[in-house]
Each structure stands twice: as C-alpha cells, then as structure tokens.
Amino acid sequence: MKNKIEILKLENFPLINEGDDIAEIILNSLKENNISLQNGDIILIAQSIISKSLGLIRNLSEIEVTENAKELHKKVTSKAKPMGLPERSPELIQMILNESKEIVKSEHVLITETYHGFICANAGIDKSNVEGKNMVSLLPSEPDIEAKKIQEKIEGELKRNIALIITDSFGRPFRNGAVGVAIGISGISAILDKRGCSDLFGNKLQSTIVAQIDNLASAAQLVMGEANEGIPVAIIRGYEYERRENSDIKDIIRTKDSDLFRNSNLKYFEEILKKRTSYKKQFSNKEINKEIIFDCLKLAILAPNAHNSQPWKFVIL
C-alpha cells in the first residue's frame, strides 16, 4: 500500500460548449498544468461538462407543462415556502417528471429514480454552472459509455493505464449537505468487496462492501468544489485498485427489493388491508390534512369488498 494519496486539479479549464471533445481538452490541460499522467491515475470529471459537450442543456421556457406537473408544483411549493426553500417552477417540475422513472418522494423537494436507477433530488437536473436564467443541464443517458470513450482516447494518446469517473453531487437521507458521488465509470470496479477478509483481530468480515468510487468522487470534490471554482477535472494519484475492463455503475445501485426505505410501509399496510373487510374506530375532532385522507383512500380500495357490483363512494365530513 502506498503511503500517500494525492489529488491534483486542472486549473484554467476552459468553458465547455456542445460538441467539444472532452478528452482532447483534458490532454491539452494536462500540458498547460505540467502534469504527466502515471499508470493507475484516476481522472474524475464533473457531470456538468459532459452534459454540456453532449448538448444536454434545456431551456425551461420551452417546456410544455401538464396538469400533473401543475398539481405537483402546488404541493411542493406549499411545503417548500415555509422552510425558506427556493420555489421550483412548473416547467422545472415538468422536466423532472420527464427525466424520472419514478417519483420516490414528493414533499418540499422531489426525490426521484432516474432512468439510470439513481435515487436523487430533481432527477439530477441542475441549474448551477449553466449559463442562462432558464437553462438547466440533464444527466447523460449513458454515463459509463461516455466515461469509456474519454478513458480510451486518453490512454491511446498517452500510453498509460488509467481509470475514469464521472461525478455529481447528491444529498443524503438523515444528513445535511451534498457529497460527491460517481454516476459513470470506466476501468475501475464500482465497489470493493471486503467480505471474507480479516480485521486487525482476525475476525472475518461478513458484510463490508466499500463504495470506492463514491469515496473517490467525494475526495475529488474537495478540490473541484460546487460553486465558481472552475475545476471540473481532478486526478487522484496513489489509490491502489484493480483495473476492470467492463465496469458498470449499476453495481453500486441497491435494488429496489433490498431497499428498506422504499415502499416498505405501503406494502405492509396493503397486506393488512387485503385481509380485512372493515375497520371500526372512534371519531376524533382532530383536523386531518386532505392529502393524508386521499392517501388513505388509495389504500382503502385494496380491502376486500363484499359489494363488488357497487361503485366506490367516499364522503369527507
């Protein structure tokens, strides 16, 4: 094991436009920064410049808003305003819906599952470091492929074996603040499986799996920053890893069935309701939010119905 890990940054990196060759620009920037790549170096690239080079910048003023997005906008805004959070326009809500496979949670913020399988706020759509008031960037549709293209070109030019990680920043449940995460990789495994290894006292590790690409992305974020630093590319040197030719970002994504925090309560109540035909409870004078009532009604229709020929009718008193 090497005795140090270095994080190098590429300064004076140019602004990126659609059609720009990211690999070529990195090669030129390496020369300007007097940095020579070594075997085993890991290049980390901010998602924003990948999206810009691919033309994944959208003008929200051109988005047609559906009724579903308008209703969702009202709900999110009503919860965000009391918390002092910025309002998201109906157009942005619509774009989030367009880029989402599923809305996981809709409160003061929208937590979604993207088509890649990422669980994140706003489907990864970002306004930061995008020029123009109504302009936003979208996530690349195939980030692993984009990472591999850049990696292969740089390796071909410099005759060095490297890995490449495309990074973004996600918030985390139960903790404040965003951290760097990997959304695309090439040349390195997503996870480091330590199960079966021994600890300092000879105990066999039973469940230790290290999210090494996210650790590396977070480390690089320390120099890449989140605001006007202008450092979209960093290099990590000295981290030892096994090279992997067919790396896949999906290896780090927890499956829906094994996720304790997705739909577990809903499934629990669904199973209970399916077994009961009626519930008798005392009335309360407590005021109930209508949204809670509507959620309960969605569950109620799952219960066995002795009068299947009769349409559902609900009265809110």
Specify the pLDDT at position 306: 54
- 239 and 153: one domain? yes
- All residues at 6 or more sequence positions from 293 whose CB lies less than 8 Å from its CB, including other chains: 316
Residue scoring higher pLDDT (163 or 229):
163
Is residue 214 within 8 Å of 252, Cβ to Cβ? yes
Mean pLDDT of 56-69: 96
- Structural domain total, the chain: 3
- 236 and 292: one domain? no
Mean pLDDT of 178-187: 97
- 31 and 151: one domain? yes
Indicate the pTM of the whole model: 0.82
Specify the pLDDT at position 290: 72
Specify the pLDDT at position 269: 59
Mean pLDDT of 274-279: 60
- All residues at 6 or more sequence positions from 122 whose CB lies less than 8 Å from its CB, including other chains: 88, 92, 96, 109, 110, 112
- 234 and 119: one domain? no
pLDDT cut 90: percent of the chain above it: 70
- 196 and 63: one domain? no
- 36 and 76: one domain? no
Is residue 97 within 8 Å of 109, Cβ to Cβ? no
Indicate whether 294 pLDDT > 80: no
Is residue 211 within 8 Å of 253, Cβ to Cβ? no
Q: Where in the sequence is the domain holding 93, given as residue range(s)?
A: 58-136
Indicate whether 223 pLDDT > 80: yes
| H or E element at residue 235 | strand 233-237
**Domain end position, chosen among 86, 101, 136:** 136
pLDDT tens-place string over residues 91-130 = 999 999 999 999 998 888 899 999 999 999 999 999 988 9
